[in-house]
Chain A
Amino acid sequence: GENVEQHPSTLSVQEGDSAVIKCTYSDSASNYFPWYKQELGKRPQLIIDIRSNVGEKKDQRIAVTLNKTAKHFSLHITETQPEDSAVYFCAAGTNFGNEKLTFGTGTRLTIIP
């Protein structure tokens, strides 16, 4: 089955700087890669996703890149703000997300004011 590794497990960044979280996956059949943000005590919420036919996607301050050959994908947050502090999860799935998602172990991001 799919195995998703996520690094780092914790990340502290000065407000205004950029944050990068990296994930690798094992199943070459995976074609859907979403990222979720989970604030303390809340549900995970989808912030951005990318499909395997695209190498990069951007939405305002967040961007995701995908390298299918190396089987890794990354989340980039620019101009970080205190409200970006949360746990971020990457995930990988097949059938464009219509089957199960396998989640990474999460990255606790702390933005230092």
Chain B
Amino acid sequence: DTAVSQTPKYLVTQMGNDKSIKCEQNLGHDTMYWYKQDSKKFLKIMFSYNNKELIINETVPNRFSPKSPDKAHLNLHINSLELGDSAVYFCASSQRGGYTFGSGTRLTVV
């Protein structure tokens, strides 16, 4: 029973399209995150939600919009995709400590 699940696992799309990535956790954690991992493996936080409320919004283009319908779900919608958006996007959740990551979504913009 997967603790943090993301869909889709792979996403190939053309420049200018709009796409969404979904994340769900069944750990009962209060806090969820989106991280971006670039080609050099660097992990950088994008957003953090605590119990459905946005608490961290790093310097991310406003083409990226997170949504948390409830504390178990955190989705990421990306408008007008650009080549530089190609990366692996990880969802994670935490409660008093270490994160549990989802399996990642590899986004390729062509």
Residue ranges of A at the interface with B (Cβ–Cβ < 8 Å): 32, 34, 36, 38, 42-46, 49, 87, 89, 96-103, 105-106
Contact = CB atoms under 8 A, between A and B. Distances in A.
Contacts of B83: none
B68 interface: no
Nearest to B6: A43
B101 A106 contact: no
B48 interface: yes
Contact of B102 (A36, A43, A105): A43
Contact of B98 (A46, A87, A89): A46
Contacts of B99: 34, 36, 44, 46, 97, 101
Q: How large is the interface on B (under 10, 10 to 19, 20 to 34, 35 or more residues)?
A: 20 to 34
A46 B48 CA distance: 19
The A contact surface, by secondary structure, is strand
A88 B17 CA distance: 34
The 3 A-B pairs with the shortest beta carbon distances in the complex, nearest first, are: A46-B98, A97-B97, A43-B101
B97 A100 contact: no
B101 to A, nearest CB: 4
B27 interface: no
Nearest to B101: A43
Contacts of B55: 99
Interface of B: 31, 33, 40-45, 48, 55-56, 90, 94-104
Nearest to A46: B98
Contact of B97 (A34, A36, A42, A44): A34
B103 A96 contact: no
A96 B96 contact: yes
A101 B97 contact: no
Nearest to B102: A43
B41 A43 contact: no
Contact of A43 (B45, B56, B90): B90
